[in-house]
Amino acid sequence: ISFNSARFLISASRLEECPPDSGAEVAFAGRSNAGKSSAINSITAHGKLARTSKTPGRTRLINFFTLNRENCRLVDLPGYGYAKVSRDMKDDWQKHLGHYLNDRRCLRGLVLVMDIRHPLTDFDQMMVEWCEHNNLPLMILATKADKLKFGQAKTAMLGIAGKLKEFQCVEHLIMFSATSKRGVDECRDALTAWLEA
């Protein structure tokens, strides 16, 4: 799979607007400002994709990107807000995305993007538990690692790993940086394995 060939396909606000539920998809979730757009950008080496998703009006939509392999897609889920988290979760994120996450049969895995300095927020925890409950493979990108000294980043990774050790769903925990590109290749390899399985 060539991630560089990713192209914007469609935005959806409801399940009925999503592309046909066939082939394979991997979805990206994360708290607003965690670095999800930048992560997708560096994985696809394609600055326009993240801009597409950040276009006003599209931020609350599910954005689909096609890859060069037939019927393989990356999916950018709406970021959940850092203000009034529980209300946003209920009113927007959960309502718009519950259907997608619960009903999408072609979903192969979830990538949860979190700021390595602020890992495992309440919402992140909820997503981890949701994946565990639904047997959906989970990849965690601990991004903005360049903001920490390497030793601090290592310590942060160990802390995250310790908190997640009882969760079977966590297949990949990757120290990541959109700035330094740390973790991009590892992430691409893991995505390829999921999409081609």
Asked if 114 contacts 30 with a C-beta cutoff of 8 angstroms, the reply is yes
- To ligand GDP, the closest distance from the beta carbon of 36 in angstroms equals 3
> Is residue 37 a contact residue for ligand GDP (CB under 6 A)?
yes
- Shortest distance, CB of residue 53 to ligand GDP, whole angstroms? 8
Q: Which is nearer to ligand GDP, 149 or 196 (CB)?
A: 149
Q: Which of residues 106-145 bind ligand GDP (CB under 6 A)?
A: 143-144
| 147 binding ligand GDP? (CB under 6 A) | yes
When binding is defined by CB under 6 A, the residue of 177, 187, 190, 191 that contacts ligand GDP is: 177
Q: Minimum CB separation from ligand GDP for residue 185, in Å? A: 15
From CA 102, how far away is CA 20, in angstroms rounded?
15
Rounded to whole angstroms, the Cα distance separating 3 from 55 reads 21
Q: Of 128, 111, 121, 129, nearest to 36 (Cα)?
A: 111
C-alpha distances in Å from residue 193, one per residue of 72, 146, 151: 12, 26, 30
Reduce the secondary structure of 16-36 to three states and give it as a string. HHCCCCCCEEEEEEEECCCCH
Q: What is the DSSP string of 95-117?
A: HHHHHHHHH-TTEEEEEEEEETT
- Residue from the set 3, 6, 29, 35 that interacts with ligand GDP by CB under 6 A: 35
- Minimum Å gap between C-beta 38 and ligand GDP is 3
Closest distance between ligand GDP and the C-beta of residue 42, in Å? 8
Choose the stretch contacting ligand GDP; rule: CB under 6 A; options: 4-12, 34-42, 83-91, 163-171. Answer: 34-42
Classify burial at 30, counting beta carbons within 10 Å of its beta carbon; exposed 0-12, middle 13-18, buried 19 or more.
buried
Q: Give me the residues that bind ligand GDP (CB under 6 A), please.
A: 30, 32-38, 79, 143-144, 146-147, 177-179
